[in-house]
Amino acid sequence: MLYLGRLIINGAHRLRGEVVISGAKNAAVAIIPAALLVEGICIIENVPNIKDVSILIRTLRELGAKIKYIDDTTLEVDCSEVTCYTASYEMVKKIRASCYLLGALLGRFNRANMAFPGGCDFGVRPIDQHIKGFEALGAKIDIQHGIIHAVAEKLIASQIYMDVVSVGATINIMLAAVKAKGTTIIENAAKEPHVVDVANFMNSMGANIKGAGTDVIKIKGVDKLTGGTYSIIPDQIEAGTFMIAAAATLGDVTIKNVIPKHLEAISAKLSEMNVNIEDYDDSIRVWVDKKITKANVKTLPYPGFPTDLQPLIVTLLCKAEGTSIVTEGVWDSRFQYVDELIKMGANIKVEGRVAVIEGVSRLSGSQVKATDLRAGAALVIAGLISEGVTEIHNSEHIDRGYENLEQKLLQLGADILAVGKSKNKNNGVVNLYDSVEAL
Ligand code: EPU
């Protein structure tokens, strides 16, 4: 069955009320493969019910893992009997995070075979830093017919300087090094909250990782990871999405189950734009009582403004007073969605990695197409602040990374309808288009 989803939004409703944030996608998609390193039972709590997670669960099961849901957001994962170290193209083509299978299988079996991973298209997405790290640990890497073969007689700790700050390479090297003999040092490591979460997960299973969250991570190899219980952090990007949606609709929303520290770059930028922000221990209130004004934004690795919110902040700036400049500092090509905003009346010019946004007084509902996950979320916000009806095609991209986005927006007063979804009483919403070949 091939199904492409749609979201239909009747715009111009202010969002008001409370919303609860789910577990972090980019932590979950690393922690689930990391469970391959554990020879015991892992209980993983606060798992978001999103498409990328269901793809990874299926992939781990194909490798021989026993995985079951204990409740809607808790997984029991037992990888003790996994013996397979080959992840085929069929398994890994759908999502980028499947690249973590390489580090996890290498760390577990001293060998791994994996096809190149798929994922959102932001231009070139190299994995040279992952490979450099594996080689430094003593693995031989051979690429044949699109398959990466990694093999090591024994993994031995090393000092690795990352040429670029990479979330994926930092996590993958941690996975491969967790049982390597000696102390591995990753310098110029990524500091994202999900990097810290993966380290905390592995430490709770018996690993010895220090420094995650700084740019030097030290991993002292241990003999075995033995199992335990861990709860995934709240999703920084989902929280940022609701913050921007609340601001864009001139609403008043309290966003619960967040870590305000992870949201500082977003809060600071929204405050600069006249949006009111109030932090509490584990929630944040966002409301608007003044005209939203222009801002310049540059996306950077954490603690900078996250690239994954770039399409959303651009959308907010479409109706802000004045001219804003947004510079993409992480990916080569992350403005493909701008053409869709222009169809809705936005005034945006893109030159390479820079977008110049001239605020307009109105956007109008249109037929648009989501090109990737965050671009899809940006179009949802555009639909919420447009006059008339917006129909977002290919909305299955959004389900890859947002749990029940339309349900949460409905509760906040949005007029939004998802076409092509069904309810699963054990496990929240599931997609009817589970068998879509390439998302
Ligand atoms: N890079 C290299 N060589 C490498 C790896 C990365 O040159 O070996 C470059 C990339 O081309 C890019 C930069 O380094 O210019 C950063 O890439 P990074 O490796 O940090 O990205 P990633 O691990 O592939 C994760 C998130 C992305 C998010 C980026 C940046 C996951 C599963 N994905 O990707 O999230 O944009 O970090 O923060 O964690 C999303 O959630 O929508 C999403 C795309």
Residue to mutate (ligand 1; options 125, 262, 309; most atoms within 8 A of CB): 125
* Entry pTM: 0.94
The stretch 124-130 carries a mean pLDDT of 88
Task: Tell the residue nearest (CA) to atom 43 of ligand 1.
Answer: 308
Measured from the Cβ of residue 438, the count of other Cβ atoms closer than 10 Å reads 6
Confidence of residue 92 (pLDDT cuts 50, 70, 90): confident
Task: Give yes or no for residue 427 having a pLDDT over 60.
Answer: no
Q: Which residues are catalytic?
A: 120
Contacts of 139 (CB under 8 A, 6+ apart): 106, 110, 150, 151, 152, 155, 176
State whether residue 20 is helix, strand or coil. Answer: strand
In 3D, which of 155, 226, 230, 161 has the Cα closest to residue 198?
A: 230
Taking the C-alpha atoms of residue 429 and residue 133, their distance in angstroms, rounded to an integer, is 38
Q: Which atom of ligand 1 is nearest to the CA of 306?
A: 38
Average confidence (pLDDT) over 307-312: 98
What is the separation of C-alpha 250 from the centre of its chain, rounded to a whole number of angstroms? Answer: 26
User: Taking 60 as the threshold, does the pLDDT of residue 430 lie above it?
Assistant: no
DSSP, collapsed to helix, strand or coil, labels residue 70 as: strand
What's the pLDDT at 120? Answer: 65
Q: Which atom of ligand 1 is nearest to the CA of 96?
A: 32
Banded model confidence at residue 435, pLDDT cuts 50, 70, 90: very low
Distance 366 CA to ligand 1 centre (A): 31
Structure token pair of residue 435: 């068998």
Please name the helix (run of DSSP H) or strand (run of DSSP E) that holds residue 431, with its range, or none.
strand 428-431
Test site for ligand 1: of 32, 120, 167, 300, most ligand atoms within 8 A of the Cβ: 167
Distance between CA 270 and CA 293 in Å, rounded? 9
Question: What is the rounded CA–CA span in Å between residue 35 and residue 41?
Answer: 9
**433, pLDDT greater than 50:** no
pLDDT at 94: 79
CA distance 399 to 262: 23
Ramachandran bin of 145, using left for φ above 0, alpha for ψ from -120 to 50, beta for the remaining angles: left
Quick: pLDDT tens for 355-384. 999 999 999 999 999 999 999 999 999 999
Q: Would you mind telling me the total number of residues written for the chain in this entry?
A: 439
**How far apart are alpha carbons 378 and 382 in whole angstroms?**
6
Burial 282-312 (b: 16+ CB within 10 A, else e): ebbbbbbeeebebbebbbbbbeebbbbbbbb
Contact 377, 241 (CB under 8 A): yes
The answer to whether the bond into 303 is cis (omega within 30° of 0) is yes
The residues facing 8 across adjacent strands are: 391, 417
